[in-house]
Amino acid sequence: MVKITAAQVNELRKKTGAGMMDCKKALVEAEGNLEDAIAVLRKKGQKIAEKRADRDSSEGAVVSQINDDNTRGVVLSLNCETDFVANNDSYTAMAKEMAAIAINYNTKEEFLAAKFDDSMTVAEKLIEQTGVIGEKLEIGGFEILEAPFVGTYIHGKKIGALTGLSSAIEGAEKLAKEVSMQVASMGATTLSYKDFDAAYVASETEARIAAIEKDNIELGRLGKTLKNVPSFISRSQLTDDVLAKAEEAAKAELKAEGKPEQIWDRILPGKMERFIADNTTLDHEKALLDQNFIMDDKKNVGDYVAAHGDVSVVGFKRVTLA
């Protein structure tokens, strides 16, 4: 039998992260050959991966990486089965090491096929570490963003976001981080209400009105205040004609209330703001620039960004474990 030295075991541990006894057994099976021992560990990982293929891997670590000139970023999740593994510092370190590689590739498929080191690809590393850790490991979310300036924010280890700005203004890093916090927290799916497809808005309008009307049946039965049933849910539906009719309705209401006509100009703007707010719920939920800013709810995100000068948000990405 080939004698296996402590130095050989330590070298294999550094390369693979496997436990001391696993490394020793692999080296014995490989008769002391380091590369063959790595292959042994990889085969072990393949067997475990096959057995655990149907397991849920909803825990893990979300990490991001920005290039040196802040023009490209990646956010990804390295998924595992339990928070016990996810909360290990070495696991997070491995996720960050993968993000440093991932930033050079445009798709998850390209990234998985890329070299992790001289001996294996990223996909092979995941299989190897499945054998080492004993849990299913996989890359879950994977998003790349390019812009004149890219910033990031990671919430714990569960959610990560990237934000692209139109220019690298002074304070761009802070602004991009703040907008990324918004993306992470509020889960927008598009940049502006202008990006919504008309068919999607129509479908959502019908579904939301139906849901409110159903709730109102139960509220009425209980003698509680009924919810307002909006006619619209997006600014994209509020045409000049719709707004004109809303203003006329507001004037009729003021007249019915006996308000003097000379003070209507002071009251109408507030009524119109409320009308727009009540009829743009989809925008507030799904369109980033139209959401109330979490750090100053008196402004929407678009207004907050505009206050920083000649800069705009040109894109964003979000990855979450939940």
Residues 248-274 pLDDT 10s: 999 999 999 999 999 999 999 999 999
Q: By the 8 A CB rule, do 24 and 32 touch?
A: no
The pTM score is 0.82
**C-alpha triplet 249, 252, 256: angle, nearest 5°:** 140
> Do the domains 59-192 and 6-51 match in fold?
no
Please, which residues have CB within 8 angstroms of residue 235's CB and are 6 or more apart in sequence? 193, 276, 280, 283, 290
pLDDT, tens only, 143-179: 999 999 999 999 989 999 999 999 999 999 999 999 9
CATH of 6-51, picked from 3.40.630.30, 3.40.50.150, 3.20.20.140, 1.10.8.10, is 1.10.8.10
Q: Shortest CA distance to 311 belongs to which of 98, 121, 167? A: 167
Structure tokens at 288: 């980033």
Residue extents of the structural domains in the chain: 6-51, 59-192, 194-307
Q: By the 8 A CB rule, do 283 and 277 touch?
A: no
Q: In this predicted model, which residue has the larger pLDDT, 36 or 181?
A: 181
Q: Does the pLDDT at position 322 exceed 70? A: no
Indicate the class that CATH gives domain 59-192.
Answer: alpha beta
Q: Does the pLDDT at position 49 exceed 90? A: no
Q: Does the pLDDT at position 54 exceed 90? A: no
Give the DSSP per-residue string, 123-156: HHHHHHHHHHHSS--EEEEEEEEE-SEEEEEEET
